[in-house]
Structure formats: C-alpha cells, structure tokens
C-alpha cells in the first residue's frame, strides 16, 4: 500500500489544462484562445523592446547569483509600490505600505493569503461569481472557507453591482473580499469609478478586508487609470492587500514576477506586518528569484525605458481594442444577430462569450479553436492571421 494510494486523479486545471489539450492537438491550424497570454499582430508572444534593452544592460554587467532577502529586491519593491499606489500616495509616504516581491501574481495572492491567515484564521474569503479559477484554489489551500458574491449580470453582460453590494452588506465583518482591480477575469466587465466608490464605502463601513488582484494594470484604460481602486481604498483609509503581476504587462510570464502589498493602519503596524510576511515567504520558498525583478526594476527606474514601456503597454491595449472591434463586426457580418456589444465594452484580455461548455467543446473539436469551458475567449490572442477562422468558428456555433 503506497502512501499515495488515497489520492484520486482530479480533472486538469480549467485554464492550464486547455493549453495541454491545445499542445496535444496535431491540427496545423489550431488556435489557442484559452490561457491569458498576449500575442502580437503576427501571433507571436513578443519580447518587449524595453525588456530587451534592460536584458542587454544586465548581460553587460554580469553578477554572481546571491540570495535576495525574503521580501526581494529593494529597488524593485520601491518602484513597484510607486507604480501600484502612485509616487505620492499618502499611505506610501506615511510608511504604511509593505511591499514584497513574489513569484508572479499567484505567489502574491498566496503570500497575501498566508499573512491574512496568520492575522485572522477563522474568516471567510469571498470571491466574485465568477472569478479566476485559481482564486478559489489558492485561498482554500491556504485553509480558508471560500464563498462567492454576486458579480456578473448575465442579462446585461455588465456588473450586478446591486447584487454585489447586497452580498457585501450581508458578509461577516472581517471577511476577505477578493476584487479584480481592472480587466475582470474571466468576464472583462469592470466596476466604474462611481461603482468602486460605492463598493468601497460598504467594504470600509462593514469592516471587510479588501484584497485587490491587479494582474492587468495598463491593459484596460492606462497604467494610472487602472489603479483607481487602489487609490480609492487609500482615500477611504482602508487597510487592505494588493497582488500585482508583470506577466501580462511586461510579457514576463515565465519569469514569475509580481508583488504583494499590505496597507497597514500605521508605520508601526507595517513593521510588524513586514516581519510576519517574511516568515510566510521563508516557509514557502525562502526568497524570490532575481532575474525578472531586475528587468522590471531597471525599466521602471530608467526614465527612457519607463516611457518606452508605457508606450508599449499602450500599444498592446490599443491592439486588443482593435481586435475586439474587428471580432464583433466580423461576427455581425457573418450573420450573428444577438447583441454582441459586450465584446467591445468588456476590457482587457478576455471576452466572456456566453457560449456553453458544449459550444466550447464544439469549437475545439470541430474548429480547433481553444477557449475555456466557461465561455472565456482570450481576445489578446486574436490577430489578422487567425481572426477570420475564429469568426467563422464562433459564428457557426452561435448560429447553429
């Protein structure tokens, strides 16, 4: 009898499993709209010019591979904190923000969850309905009970903000509420500024703990615009957590570069949070790796590279919007009569198509177009070379 004999097989990951199925498909014209990865006009994952320049600079000054501290590279943490909170954020200037470099956005969520579990192990975590599939897994595996609050309005394709507010009003004080800072994953439907203000008022009044997942900064409206929720939470004097990632907006997927930020009530409290966060990191992986953070730090702290990065992020955002517009008009031209305005009003890398798991299976099996069973399609992977085939396939499953 093996020690592992009680382990039953589980289904493949709902997102990463799609990549596995895609890779296994020998069809020459297969198209992967599953995982959230941005590809360019030619269908290739780009190496951004700002990243290439930083890498050349790093390669020109080789260094030995020392350990980083548990919370990562100081220059990186400071630059990322400025990006996420704004250089002159009152919380930042008061020394109330603790930032730690993490292994991507997932690592940031996991470290944040670990710290919150030390602070208050009994509370419930609320995630949006629906949410990124990994949110539930991360918080459950950290030991929390996970429930959902209403979010997506099937009827309008927008946010059911009344339902969301009602669920938050009914939540137990101390509950952790996971929020998507921008480019909601999977729906692409975000709160407006006014809706954020309304939700934040409830969060603060009810003593709930906001945990903002900011994995797509720059891909909705702009780098500054997309941190609205973070700035509004600081204005509301909330104590909260932010997880951010540079997988998408720097194209550094495989380098696992992210950060977790804790906004404490005072600088004294921040010092205690920092010391505890270091133990969480120590127990998980001791300290993060250097290379990806060195790239991001170099770009963010070098004025010309930072300007180039912003320009490249603007370009990605513009290209995604263009693909959304062409996808929608192509479907309309192909005879789809249902309201498709959601394709162009949703923001970020994903479009929540409303297609059923059965229709998504048909897309895969008949047309070799891969999306998630939830109906999510990665529009950031559309390009002039695959758009017509995607339109033909989606129109076919929508109309028959």
Write out the residues near ligand LMR by the rule CB under 6 A.
Answer: 15, 35-36, 132, 134, 185
Catalytic residue among 77, 167, 213, 373: 213
Q: How far apart are CA 260 and CA 364, in angstroms?
A: 36
Kindly tell me which of 104 and 288 has the beta carbon lying closer to ligand LMR: 104
Instruction: Produce one character per residue of 53-91: b if its CB has 16 or more CB atoms within 10 Å, e if not.
Output: bbeeeeeeeeeeeeebebbbbeebbebbbbbbbbeebeb
Kindly tell me which of 186 and 330 has the beta carbon lying closer to ligand LMR: 186
- Write 278-284 long-range contacts (CB < 8 A, 24+): 278/69, 278/70, 278/71, 278/100, 280/111, 280/114, 280/115, 280/118, 281/70, 281/71, 281/100, 281/102, 281/111, 282/70, 283/114, 284/107, 284/110, 284/111, 284/114
The residue whose two tokens read 């923001």 is 347
Counts for the chain of helices (H) and strands (E), in that order: 15, 11
CB atoms within 10 A of CB 292: 24
Shortest Å distance, C-beta 91 to ligand LMR: 27
Q: How far apart are CA 386 and CA 391, in angstroms?
A: 9
For the question of residue 132 being annotated catalytic, the response is yes
Kindly tell me which of 132 and 298 has the beta carbon lying closer to ligand LMR: 132
Kindly tell me which of 206 and 319 has the beta carbon lying closer to ligand LMR: 319
237 burial (CB, 10 Å; 0-12 / 13-18 / 19+) is exposed
Angle in degrees, CA 285, 60, 102, rounded to 5: 20
Q: Are 163 and 128 in contact (CB under 8 A)?
A: no
Kindly tell me which of 175 and 187 has the beta carbon lying closer to ligand LMR: 187
For the question of residue 213 being annotated catalytic, the response is yes
Shortest Å distance, C-beta 132 to ligand LMR: 5
Shortest Å distance, C-beta 343 to ligand LMR: 18
Q: Which among 131, 166, 165, 161 is positioned nearest to 146, based on CA atoms? A: 131
154 bridge partner residues? none
Catalytic residue among 160, 167, 226, 248: 248
103: left (phi over 0), alpha (psi -120 to 50) or beta: beta
Kindly tell me which of 76 and 132 has the beta carbon lying closer to ligand LMR: 132
Shortest Å distance, C-beta 338 to ligand LMR: 25
Kindly tell me which of 35 and 394 has the beta carbon lying closer to ligand LMR: 35
* Closest CB to ligand LMR: residue number: 36
Q: How far apart are CA 321 and CA 301, in angstroms?
A: 29
Q: Which among 293, 290, 243 is positioned nearest to 263, based on CA atoms? A: 243
Kindly tell me which of 208 and 360 has the beta carbon lying closer to ligand LMR: 360
The pair phi, psi for residue 125, each rounded to 5°, is -105, 130
Shortest Å distance, C-beta 185 to ligand LMR: 5
How far from chain centre, in Å, is Cα 378? 13
For the question of residue 309 being annotated catalytic, the response is no
Shortest Å distance, C-beta 253 to ligand LMR: 8
The residue whose two tokens read 């509301």 is 236
Shortest Å distance, C-beta 246 to ligand LMR: 13
Catalytic residue among 30, 77, 132, 160: 132
For the annotated catalytic residues, the residue numbers are 132, 213, 248
């Amino acid at each position: 009898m093996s020690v592992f004999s009680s382990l039953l097989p589980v289904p493949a990951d709902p997102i990463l499993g799609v990549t596995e199925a895609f890779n296994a498909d020998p069809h020459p014209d297969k198209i992967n709209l599953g995982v959230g990865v941005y590809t360019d006009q030619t269908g290739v994952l780009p190496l951004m010019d700002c990243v290439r320049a930083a890498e050349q600079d790093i390669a020109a000054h080789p260094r030995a591979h020392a350990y980083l501290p548990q919370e990562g590279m100081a220059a990186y943490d400071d630059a990322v904190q400025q990006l996420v909170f704004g250089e002159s954020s009152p919380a930042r200037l008061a020394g109330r923000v603790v930032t730690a470099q993490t292994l991507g956005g997932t690592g940031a969520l996991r470290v944040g969850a670990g710290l919150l579990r030390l602070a208050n192990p009994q509370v419930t975590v609320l995630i949006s309905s629906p949410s990124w599939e990994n949110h539930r897994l991360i918080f459950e595996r950290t030991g929390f009970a996970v429930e959902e609050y209403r979010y997506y309005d099937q009827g309008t394709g927008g946010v059911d903000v009344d339902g969301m507010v009602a669920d938050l009003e009914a939540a137990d004080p101390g509950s952790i509420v996971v929020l998507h800072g921008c480019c909601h994953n999977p729906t692409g439907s975000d709160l407006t500024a006014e809706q954020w203000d309304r939700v934040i008022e409830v969060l603060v009044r009810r003593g709930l703990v906001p945990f903002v997942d900011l994995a797509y900064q720059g891909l909705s409206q702009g780098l500054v615009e997309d941190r609205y929720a973070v700035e509004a939470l600081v204005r509301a004097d909330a104590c909260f957590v932010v997880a951010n990632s540079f997988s998408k907006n720097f194209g550094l997927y495989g380098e696992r570069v992210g950060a977790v930020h804790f906004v404490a009530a005072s600088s004294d409290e921040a010092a205690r949070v920092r010391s505890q966060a270091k133990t969480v990191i120590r127990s998980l992986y001791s300290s993060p790796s250097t290379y990806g953070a060195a790239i991001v730090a170099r770009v963010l702290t070098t004025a010309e590279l930072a300007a180039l990065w912003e320009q490249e992020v603007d370009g990605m955002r513009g290209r995604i919007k263009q693909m959304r517009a062409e996808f929608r008009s192509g479907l309309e031209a192909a005879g789809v009569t249902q309201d498709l305005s959601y394709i162009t009003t949703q923001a970020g890398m994903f479009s929540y198509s409303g297609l059923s798991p059965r229709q998504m299976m048909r897309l895969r099996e008949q047309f070799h177009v891969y999306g998630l069973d939830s109906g999510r399609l990665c529009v950031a992977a559309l390009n002039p070379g695959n758009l017509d085939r995607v339109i033909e396939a989606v129109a076919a499953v929508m109309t028959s």
